[in-house]
Chain A
Amino acid sequence: MVKTKSVGCLVILLLLFSNPVVARDYIEVWPQDWSDVTPLFKTSIFANRFFVKNDSLGASYLSTDGLYFKELDLVYRTVNRQAIEQEVVLRSKAELHGLFLGIDDRSNRHVVWSEKAENGYSINYTHFSIPYTDHMHHIIYTSNNTVQDIAAFQENNIIHLVWSERDKYFQIKYAQISNNELQFVETVTDTNDISVKPSIILNDRGIPHVFWMETSDSQGVKILHASRLSNNQWSMPTKIGLGTVQDIKQGGVIELARYGPEIFALWASTHRGGNNLYVSLVKFDSSGEISEQEFLAAGSRARFVDGTTEPQLVWQSDGQFGTEIRYAKYIDDHLDDEINLSVGRRGAFRPEAYCIDSNVYVSWLHADPEQGYVLHEINNEYPKKITTWRKVGIDEQAPFAHLLYVFISTFMMAMVYTVLNIVVMLVGGIIYGLVLRYNIYAEQSFFYRLSLLSIILMVVSRFPIPAVSASFFGLVHHGLAYVLALIGTYLLMRGVKNRGAFVNIATIIIWMYLFQYFSLIPEVILR
């Protein structure tokens, strides 16, 4: 027996202190079926967003690069298989604000951007073909008023443009760019409230629909919608949902996409009086019916994956190490299988995504430790090969040492969680005791009574009483933790003959401990 103990101790010491098996303190759980993350180029965060679109000539990126907000370069890049093929500076050393990239049906690139100069604001336009030879810079609109939040939609050779302009109050303006000129400059709003962050899309019949955010002192932020009528007038604005100033301050916009006859609108707003941002969705069907505002997931800056036939979303959401980039398909009115794409300890933000065939490419920004920001990309076309150990979150370089660490950490944390659930155990124990006063329950098998006790404890933990629970990792894991705790308690307690109060208390504590232990495993791995 002494020999067995000695061997056991020796194995544990070897696992813990052997040089080649020292586990890392953190392991990245890679998103299954996704590629490595590739850094593409350095950029800035001075403009609200960067643009990425794909066509037969490759992926096109439009971004504002530079380190000083008054000296930014407007840069267009073509990327093929994660290699930059072409890089063109379209505008150099200017104070750039909004930008837009469109591709027409002849693969010509159309770029619109807004600038601030000493003599006021301007909206600028250029177009060019690929391979790039040259481009002409057209100043298509100037104003002494503040011009901000430009957004556009390209349909064949016409670009439908909207922006917010301070004309005593901020109003939404609409115009069309055709033959290098701005036409039909129209004012969509006429209100004393502040109308900002417009977005535009054309429905399947070619009618422009504009959405924007309107802030007022009395009603907070409203999301409004208007469509262009046949006489070049605009319909009365209709409220489609609520937004939040928090989202406006963080540079949020209303993202629009068309799937068949339906228009989908996404933005971020708070939910149930809380302060956290949630991705909100509203749908318009072809008859003009507007759905209720849905709250899809915690997060902001949601984008539709460009080029898909069904809605797929990327957005940023708070994670353990800052913001994370998440991806999910929108199926049957909910997000299906959310995935965190930006693993690691660096915050990732401002996602944009496009589709090649059925493969999704997602880009986002990471802060560069040196200076500025770097655009990174991931895709599900070339999945990264991951080992089974890595698949379950265990370091493949030192799996047993890491497993031992996970086991000990979970073991210790489960103790703390059990102690913190003392009120749940107390209330659950009292209810269980009351139920057992009826002989019909008291005379049942031990497994039945244990099942009853465990489900009473689960229900009691939902009561508004002090309780602590591990993070939720899906219904399957939750159910598995419950079943394993039940079977484990049964195995450990089945031989105990005396079923007095002391044994019942011990059973409650053991079940609670085992449930916390099995629930905490993924949380400890991710810690």
Chain B
Amino acid sequence: MELENKRYKIFFEIALVFLGGLFLVLLSFIVGGFPYKGEPISQLIWIELILLMILLALPLFR
């Protein structure tokens, strides 16, 4: 019974991630309008690199 409950817990967690995420994405469309397909902005790589640097630096200053 406990194993069965654990299985259902995992199933509901997976469903929550997929369906909850889908709901949040659609909600963002309602709030901000349906997004427009375009070219990736050139600064994206720099944003990601800065985030990576911050994450790598964080433990050094703790």
Q: Which residues of A contact B (CB under 8 A)?
A: 1, 29, 32, 298, 337-340, 388, 391-394, 403, 406-407, 410-411, 435, 440-441, 444, 448, 451-452, 455-456, 458-459, 462, 471-478, 480-481, 484, 488, 491-492, 514, 517-518, 521-523, 525-526
Contacts and interface: CB of A to CB of B under 8 A. Distances in A.
Contacts of B16: 491
Contacts of B28: 476-477, 480
Contact of B52 (A391, A440, A456, A514): A456
B30 interface: yes
Contact of B14 (A339, A492, A521): A492
B17 A521 contact: no
A388 B35 contact: no
A411 B58 CA distance: 35
B40 to A, nearest CB: 4
Nearest to B54: A455
A406 B44 CA distance: 27
Interface of B: 4, 13-14, 16-19, 21-22, 24-26, 28-30, 32-41, 44-45, 48-49, 51-52, 55-56, 58-60
6 contacts: A407-B18, A410-B22, A448-B55, A448-B58, A477-B25, A492-B17
Contacts of A444: 59
Contacts of A492: 13-14, 17
Given A298-B39, A455-B48, A476-B28, A391 B34 contact: yes
B30 A472 contact: no
Given A448-B58, A452-B56, A476 B18 contact: no
Q: Which 6 residue pairs of A and B lie closest in terms of their CB atoms, listed nearest first?
A: A473-B35, A488-B17, A472-B40, A392-B29, A474-B35, A484-B21
Given A435-B56, A459-B48, 14 more contacts: A392-B29, A392-B30, A444-B59, A458-B48, A475-B44, A476-B32, A477-B35, A478-B40, A484-B25, A488-B18, A491-B17, A492-B17, A517-B21, A522-B37
- Residue among B14, B22, B26, B34 with the highest chain A CB neighbour number at 10 A: B34
B56 to A, nearest CB: 7
A263 to B, nearest CB: 28
Q: Secondary structure of the A side of the interface?
A: helix
Contacts of A488: 17-18, 21
Contact of A522 (B21, B34, B40, B48): B34
B58 A338 contact: no
Given A455-B48, A462-B48, A514-B17, A338 B25 contact: no
A407 B23 CA distance: 11
B59 to A, nearest CB: 5
Contacts of A478: 40, 44
Contacts of B35: 473-474, 476-477, 522
Contacts of A484: 21, 24-25
B37 to A, nearest CB: 5
Contacts of B36: 337-340, 473-474
A339 B22 CA distance: 24
B29 A391 contact: yes
A197 to B, nearest CB: 27
Contacts of B26: 392, 394, 521
A276 to B, nearest CB: 11
- Max count, chain A CB within 10 A of own CB: residue among B19, B36, B38: B36
A411 B18 contact: yes
Contact of B37 (A403, A448, A462, A472): A472
Nearest to B7: A1
A451 B55 contact: yes
B58 A474 contact: no
A292 B2 CA distance: 70
B30 A388 contact: yes
B57 to A, nearest CB: 11
Contacts of B30: 388, 391-392
Nearest to A483: B24
A329 to B, nearest CB: 14
B44 to A, nearest CB: 7
A396 to B, nearest CB: 13
B48 A393 contact: no
